[in-house]
Structure formats: C-alpha cells, structure tokens
Amino acid sequence: MTVLRGRRLGSLLALWAAVTLLAAAMYWLQTGMPAFMDMLRPLYAVLSVILIVATWRWFRHRNKNYDRRHDDRRHPNRHNLDLNHDQSDGSDH
C-alpha cells in the first residue's frame, strides 16, 4: 500500500482508539453531571486538535528516495575548526 510506505498502522489506530475512549469517558461524565458540560467542552476541542495534528503528521508526504532515519545528517565539514590559527611561528608580522 503506497500510503503507508513502511509505516505501521498500529500507532495511528492506537491513537484513534485512545482519543475515542477518552471522549466517551468525557461524554459519560458530562451526561452524568451536566454541570461539567461547560468545563469539558474545551477539552473536546483540545482532543480534536491533538487528533488532527497527530494524524496529519502520520500521513504527511514522505519522499520515497530519502529516508532520514538511515542517513547521517550531520555535515562534518560544517564545523571544521582550525586549531592552529592561534599558534604563531615565532616571527613577528
């Protein structure tokens, strides 16, 4: 399946199951104690945002030819330090 590209579906399903169970528990609390409705309403929005962002990050486009997990992204020449620049050769310039 090209959408998955080697990613496991279990983590996404676990996220959705956890958020669904938490939302169901919040709904059960809300129906049992209607006074908590105003307090729980923002939590539904927070859960929705977390679910949307996590799902988007899971589905985001990945390049087939480049996988960051297998390459060393550090560039060795970027931080080359010339340690001999403070040493003088004994002559005055």
Integer-rounded Cα radius of gyration of the chain: 26
pTM for the predicted model, two decimal places: 0.59
Percent of the chain with pLDDT over 70: 58
Contact 11, 58 (CB under 8 A): yes
72, part of any domain = no
Q: Determine the structural domain holding residue 15 and report its residue range.
A: 9-61
DSSP secondary structure letters along the chain: -TTTTT--HHHHHHHHHHHHHHHHHHHHHHHH-GGGHHHHHHHHHHHHHHHHHHHHHHHS---SS--GGGS----GGGG---TTTT---S---
45, part of any domain = yes
17, part of any domain = yes
73, part of any domain = no
pLDDT tens track for 28-56 = 999 998 888 888 889 999 999 999 999 99
81, part of any domain = no
Give the total number of structural domains in the chain. 1
At residue 52, the pLDDT reads: 94
